[in-house]
Amino acid sequence: MGINFQEGVEGIIEKLEAVKHQVARSFFPEFDSWRRSARLVENATEWMIMTGREGEITYANDATLKGLGYSIDELLGKNVESIIDKSIPTRGRNHLEELLREEGRVTLETKWVTKEGKSVRGINHIVGTYKEGGLVGTSEVFTDISELKERENELRGQRNALRILSSREYLIPQILEKLVKVIRDSIEFSSKTGAIIEIDDPLLGAHKLGSMENIIPEYVKKIEDLDGRTYGIIGAGSLGDQEILSSQEHDFLDAINSMLAHRLYELRLIEKLKAQAITEPLTNINNRRYFNDTVREELSRATRYKTPMAVLMIDVNRFKSINDIYGHPTGDQVLIEVAALLKNLIRDSDTVARYGGDEFAIFLPQVKEWDAEALIKRINEEVVIRNIHNPHFSFPVTLSIGACYHFPEKGETSIKEMMSLADQMMYQVKEQFHQAEKNAYLKQLHISLTKKLADLTTA
C-alpha cells in the first residue's frame, strides 16, 4: 500500500493505521471479529499474545505487559510455556496443533505466571495461524478470572462451612477439622496457606486444630458471639515470605468466623441446658436424678463384669437447728462447703450428688469395702480440720455417713435396695451420734452438778 505524502499528516496517520490493521488481520484473523481494529487490540482489557512456530512470543498487547509485569523487550522471544504455571500440565506444541485441527479453536482454564511469580487464573482462547497446511503460530486471548474464582471458592467454602455447622452429627473436634480443610481448600494457593482454629471455653472445653508455625499471620481474629463472649481464635496466613490473602479471602474468613461463633453459641447453650438438667444449683454438684441414672447404669455394668461397688449416704447433723439458730443463708453455706469438701476427696470416676435437703450421696464404682471405709475416714478427718480453720462458722459441722456395698458373688441387687440399705446405715450412725452427744451432755451435766454439790457441802 503506497503513501502519498502530499495528502497531509492526517492522511498519513490514517493510512498507517490501515496498514497496521491489515497486518493484524493477516497474522491474527480472529481479532477482526473480536476487536475490529488493531487499535482496539492494543487497548483491550484482555491479555492478547501471538506466538511463532516454536511457541516463541512474537506479540503482546499493553494489557498483557501490564498484567504480567514484563516490558515488551523482556517478553518477546520467550516461549509461551515459560509463562504458564508449572502446576498446569504442559500442553505441548504437537498436542496443541492436533486440538486446533480437530476443533478449530481451543478454550481452556489455565494459569499464567507474572514476572514476580504470582499465578493468575484465567480462560485462554487459542486459534491457530496456518501456512501451507502447517501451524506457524497461535493467537491467544487470556481473560483474567482470578476475582471470579476467588468469589466462587468463597461461596463454595461458605456453603460447605454452613453444611458442616448445620449438621448435628459432628462434635467440636470434627467441626474444627472440617472447617480448617474448608479454609485451605477455599483459599487460592492453598498449598502455601496455613490455618488454625483454637477454642477454649469452660463448657465446650479446649480444642485446637491446625497450626500457625512458620506462617505469616495475615488473618487472626477472636471468635466472638453477639453477646461478646469469646470462644477462641481463628487464623490464617502464608507459608512463604509474602502475604497472599486477598480482601475477598479476608471477607470469606470473616464469614466463617461469624458462622462458627453462632454454632458455638448454640452448642454452649445446649451444654448449659444439659448441665442445668443434671446439676443442683445451690451446691453446683450433680442432682438426684443424674445420680440415680448413673448408679443404675453402673450397677448393670458391675453385674455384667462382676466388679464391686459402693454407695455412701451422708447427712449433716443438726442441720435443722443450724437453720433455726443461724438462719437459712448460713445453712446454705454449710451445704455449699460440704459439697465442695466431698467433691475434692473423690476420684474422677466417682459421682457425688445432693440427694435432697441436707443429704448427699456418693457412688464408688470398682471399689473394695476397705477403700470405701478409708474414704469415710478421710471425709471425717477433713471435716474436723475445717471446723478448726473455718472462719465462716462459730459452730462445728459434723456428718453421719452410711455405706452399702455390692459384691457380684452375692447376686443381683437394685438401686432402690442399695440406696435403702445405705440410708439405714446412715441413720444408725446418726443415732450413734445423737446418743454420743446425749452422753457427752449428761457427762458434762453430771460433772457440773457434782461440782455445785461439792461447793454447797463445803459451804
Determine how many CB atoms are found less than 10 A away from the CB of residue 355: 22
How buried is residue 442: exposed, middle or buried, by Cβ count under 10 Å (0-12/13-18/19+)?
Answer: exposed
User: For residue 353, what are the β-bridge partners?
Assistant: 286, 361
Give the CA count within 13 Å in the CB-facing half-sphere of 434. 10
Q: What is the CA radius of gyration of the chain?
A: 42
Q: Smallest Cα–Cα separation from 110: which of 77, 92, 86? A: 86
Q: Smallest Cα–Cα separation from 328: which of 337, 319, 341? A: 319
Q: Is the dihedral of CA 72, 78, 79, 83 positive or negative?
A: negative
Q: Smallest Cα–Cα separation from 204: which of 261, 268, 266? A: 268
Interstrand relation of 134-144 and 279-280 (parallel, antiparallel or unpaired)? unpaired
Q: Give Cβ neighbours of residue 89 (< 8 Å, ≥ 6 apart).
A: none
User: For residue 208, what are the β-bridge partners?
Assistant: 198
User: What is the 8-class DSSP label of residue 90?
Assistant: P
Distances (CA, A) of 230 to 175, 221, 276, 299, 324: 18, 10, 22, 41, 44
Distances (CA, A) of 430 to 340, 361, 398, 422, 423: 22, 15, 10, 12, 10
Task: List, for the chain, all residue ranges whose pLDDT scores fall below the cut of 50.
Answer: 1-9, 12, 16, 19-21, 23-24, 26-28, 31-32, 34-35
> pLDDT at position 406, please?
83
Rounded Cα–Cα distance for residues 3 and 17 (Å): 12
Give yes or no for a contact between 107 and 124, defined as CB atoms under 8 angstroms apart: yes
Rounded Cα–Cα distance for residues 339 and 332 (Å): 11
> pLDDT at position 448, please?
63
Rounded Cα–Cα distance for residues 137 and 128 (Å): 6
Rounded Cα–Cα distance for residues 70 and 409 (Å): 88
The correct CATH number of 149-278 out of 1.10.10.60, 3.40.50.1820, 3.30.450.40, 3.40.30.10 is: 3.30.450.40
Domains 44-144 and 149-278 belong to one CATH topology = yes
Domain at 283-446, CATH class: alpha beta
Put simply, whether the predicted model's pTM sits higher than 0.85 gets the answer: no
Give yes or no for a contact between 120 and 143, defined as CB atoms under 8 angstroms apart: no
Burial letters for 265-283: b for 16+ Cβ neighbours within 10 Å, e otherwise? bebbeeeeeeeeeebbeeb
| CATH code of domain 44-144 | 3.30.450.20
H helix or E strand, kind and range, residue 457: helix 415-458
> pLDDT at position 303, please?
79
Domain residue spans in the chain?
44-144, 149-278, 283-446
Rounded Cα–Cα distance for residues 175 and 171 (Å): 6
> pLDDT at position 232, please?
93
Rounded Cα–Cα distance for residues 148 and 183 (Å): 17
Determine how many CB atoms are found less than 10 A away from the CB of residue 121: 17
Classified as helix, coil or strand, 77 is coil
> pLDDT at position 70, please?
93
Cell numbers 471479529 label which residue?
33
